[in-house]
Structure 1
Amino acid sequence: MSSPVLQGFTKSLAMTVVSEIGDRTFCIAAILAMRHPRKSVLFGCLSSVIVTTILSALVGWAAPSLISKEWAHYITTFLFFGFGLWSLWEAYNEDDDDNDELKHVEKQLNADTKAKTGKAKSDGKKGEDEDFKKQKRAFLNCFFSPVFLQAFSVTFFGEWGDKSQLATISLAADEDALAVILGGITAQTLCTVAAVIGGKSLASRISERLVTLLSGILFLAFGVLSLLSPVD
C-alpha cells in the first residue's frame, strides 16, 4: 500500500470502529442475533453496512468534482472538529450506568415485531395496494430469507444519516476513496461479527461513555492532522 492509500485505510478503519462499537447498528445486530439464526443476521447486516459504506464513499469521492479540492479539504477539517466536539459533548452528558442505546433499539424492534404481528392478525380487506405489497414481499422472499431482509433493512435505515456515515463521506472527499471503502468495510465487518457472536451480553457490557469519548478524541486528532496537512 502506498502512503496515501495506507493513510486513508487506517483513518477509515479507526474512525469506523470507534463510531460503530456500541452504536445503534451494533445493537441491532446483537439483538437480532439473539432472536434469529446468526448466519442470516450476519449476512443481512454485513450486506447493508457494505452498501452504505460504498455509497457514502462515492458521495465523498464525487464532492471534489462539485466544489474545489481546497474547499473539500477545509470542509472535511471543519467536520472532523465538529464531530469530535459533538462526541465529547455526548460523552460528558451520557449516563454510563445503563445502556440507553441498547434499550432504545430493543424497544423499537419489539414495537416493530408487535406491529407486524397485529397486522397479520387483522389481515381484513386491504385492497389492491395490500395485494401488491404481499406480491412484492413474496418475490423478495424467493431470493432472500425474511430474517436477512429484516436485518438488511433495519441496519440500512439505522445507518443512513448516522455520524459514522457522514464522517465516511467527509473522509472520502479528502482521502483515497478506495482506501476509505476498504477500511470502512473491514471495520464494519469486525464490529458486526463481534455483535453477532457476542450478542446482547457484549453490547450491554460496552461503556458507551468511554467509546464516545475515544471517538471524540480520534475525530479531533483527525481534524488536527487534516488542518496541518497540505491540500493536494
Structure 2
Amino acid sequence: MEAFLVSALAVTVGEIGDKTQLLALLLAARYKKPAPIILGILVATLANHALAGLIGSWVACHIPADWLRWGLGLSFIAIAAWTLKPDEMDDEGIQDGHYGVFLLTCVTFFLAEMGDKTQLATVALSAKYEALTSVIAGTTLGMLIADVPAVFLGKVASPNFPFKLVRWIAAGVFAVLGGLVLAGVGDRFL
C-alpha cells in the first residue's frame, strides 16, 4: 500500500504543468470528447509506466544496493530540478489523423511520456519498491488525478491555475524523497 500511495502522490504533483497535462488540455479543447481522451490517457499511461516499472525492477535486481541508493537519491533530486522547468507544447504537432481521438490520445501520450520526469520517477519508484503492480497502479492513478481534470476543464481553467506554485511544491516533494533516500532514511519511510 505504501508503494502505491507514494507513487500516486509523486506522479500527481510531478504531473502538474507537465507537457502531458498540457496535451490533455489541448486535446480536450480541440475535440471536446472527454471519454476517448481519458481512456487514451489511461491506456497510454499503463503501457508506458509498465515499461518503466519493468526497467526499474530489472535495475533493482542487477545493481548493487549502495549504487542503487545513490542513483535513486540523485535521480529524485534531478527530477526535482527538472520539475521547476515549465513544459511548453503547441498544437501544431498534433494532427487529427484517420484513427480517431482515442488512438490519437494513446499514441501522443505514450510518446510524450517517453523520457519524461514522471516516467523516470516510475523507474526510480519501481527500483525502490518490490511492488511492481502497486507502483504502476499508483503512478497511473497519479497521472489520471492530474490529467482528467485538465480534460474536463480544457482551456477555461488553465490561464488561472497556479502552475508555478505547484511546480515548486512538486520539486520540493522530489527533493525530499531524494534526500531521504541518500540519507538512508528512505529505506524506513519510502
Aligned AA (1:9):
F
Instruction: Look up the match of 2:92.
Output: 110
Give matches, 1:14-53, under 5 Å: 14-36=9-31, 37-53=33-49
Match of 1:149 among 103, 110, 114: 103
Deviations 1:138-178 (A, max 9, x none): xxxxxxx5111111111111111101111110111011322
Pair 1:229-2:178 in alignment: no
2:25 and 2:150 in contact (8 A); partners too: yes
Q: Which has the higher contact order (CA 8 A, sep 6+)?
A: 1
Q: TM-score under structure 2 normalisation? A: 0.86
Q: Determine which structure has more spread, i.e. the larger CA radius of gyration.
A: 1
- Of 212-221 and 76-85, more deviation after overlay is shown by 76-85
Shift of 1:231: 5.7
User: Equivalents in 2 of 1:151, 1:14: separation in Å?
Assistant: 24
Instruction: Look up the match of 1:189.
Output: 144
Shift of 1:82: 2.2
User: Equivalents in 2 of 1:188, 1:61: separation in Å?
Assistant: 20
Pair 1:170-2:165 in alignment: no
User: Equivalents in 2 of 1:45, 1:64: separation in Å?
Assistant: 28
Give the match's secondary structure for 2:17. coil
Instruction: Look up the match of 1:210.
Output: 165
User: Equivalents in 2 of 1:212, 1:30: separation in Å?
Assistant: 17
Give the number of equivalent residue pairs. Answer: 185
Give unpaired runs (5+ residues) of structure 2.
none
Instruction: Look up the match of 1:74.
Output: 70
Give the match's secondary structure for 1:200. coil
RMSD: 2.3
1:22 and 1:206 in contact (8 A); partners too: no
Shift of 1:193: 1.6
Match of 1:158 among 112, 133, 138: 112
Deviations 1:44-72 (A, max 9, x none): 12211121111111110111222123322
Residues 196 and 170 (structure 1 numbering): CA distance in 2 closer, same or farther, change over 3 Å? same
1:63 and 1:173 in contact (8 A); partners too: yes
Instruction: Look up the match of 1:126.
Output: none
User: Equivalents in 1 of 2:13, 2:142: separation in Å?
Assistant: 9
Q: TM-score under structure 1 normalisation? A: 0.71
Residues 111 and 166 (structure 1 numbering): CA distance in 2 closer, same or farther, change over 3 Å? closer
2:14 and 2:83 in contact (8 A); partners too: no
Instruction: Look up the match of 1:124.
Output: none
Shift of 1:87: 3.4
Shift of 1:76: 0.3
% of aligned pairs identical?
26
1:84 and 1:215 in contact (8 A); partners too: yes
Shift of 1:203: 2.8
